[in-house]
């Protein structure tokens, strides 16, 4: 039974997250419905479930079917059926046992902040507008506390029976004109983890927290210790890396 990999991109604004939910519009819901119209019901696996309002530049989906698929034709058919917010970028057959979730080595996210006095209506769905000037040096020091393997219970929405221990590989804060961007790569993430990182770093950049507070917040293993999370619309699942890539 051949296994296939889909690379997809989506604007998450009008979706209630990636994962399929009954009677609620989700990315998986519209993708699985389109696949079912072409080849019948298919069980799909995803590299990482994004929250409501979060976007994806590269999301990876895998599925196994009983017979071979003409991949170019499938891409064309899916893009003809899917809503305009979702696009299939590529499809290819992969080795037996491949899983978009379990075969991934790392995932990378980016979060953009519009950091200037005036908002920009044209970027309102993809950036978080913060008018106060942010201290990027302090924010980078704060983010450094996240690198390595930690229990991120203070930064995650807990799921029953699931560990909140994660390994963060890289973090950075950069500025390009009026855009401040957070980049983070980890082996995997738990729910709301990246948005909580951003929220904490922004509080440091505003001078409301000290960069040195991050270690204590992580050690608390208490969601209340980290406060709120950044809004979802500035977050993009940027990249998923697999062996031999």
Residues marked active site are found at 51
Distance CA 117, CA 141 (A): 25
Which pair of structure tokens corresponds to residue 4?
Answer: 């296939």
Helices 71-81 and 27-39, interaxial angle, to 10°?
Answer: 120
- Quick one: which H or E segment has residue 224? helix 223-226
Do residues 207 and 140 lie in contact, with contact meaning Cβ atoms separated by under 8 Å?
Answer: no
- Quick one: which H or E segment has residue 159? none
Number of H helices, E strands in the chain: 6, 10
C-alpha to C-alpha distances, 245 to 9, 32, 177, nearest whole angstrom: 19, 27, 32
Four-CA torsion 122, 124, 130, 136, nearest 10 degrees: -80
């Amino acid at each position: 039974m051949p296994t296939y990999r889909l690379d997809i991109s989506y604007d998450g604004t009008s979706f209630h997250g990636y994962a399929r939910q009954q009677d609620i519009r989700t990315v998986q819901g519209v993708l699985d419905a389109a696949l079912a119209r072409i080849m019948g019901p298919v069980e799909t696996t995803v590299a990482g479930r994004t929250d409501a309002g979060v976007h994806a530049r590269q999301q990876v989906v895998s599925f196994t079917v009983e017979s071979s698929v003409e991949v170019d034709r499938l891409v064309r058919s899916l893009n003809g059926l899917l809503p305009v917010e979702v696009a299939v970028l590529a499809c290819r057959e992969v080795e037996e046992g491949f899983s978009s979730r379990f075969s991934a080595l790392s995932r990378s996210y980016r979060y953009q902040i519009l950091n200037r006095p005036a908002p920009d209506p044209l970027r309102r769905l993809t950036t978080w507008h913060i008018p106060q000037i942010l201290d990027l040096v302090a924010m980078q020091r704060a983010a450094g506390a996240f690198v390595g393997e930690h229990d991120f219970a203070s930064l995650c929405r807990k799921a029953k029976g699931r560990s909140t221990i994660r390994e963060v590989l890289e973090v950075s804060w950069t500025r390009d004109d009026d855009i401040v961007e957070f980049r983070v790569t980890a082996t995997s993430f738990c729910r709301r983890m990246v948005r909580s990182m951003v929220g904490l770093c922004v509080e440091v950049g505003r001078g409301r927290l000290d960069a040195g507070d991050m270690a204590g917040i992580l050690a608390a293993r208490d969601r209340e210790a980290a406060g709120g999370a950044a809004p979802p619309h500035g977050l993009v699942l940027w990249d998923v890396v697999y062996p031999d890539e």
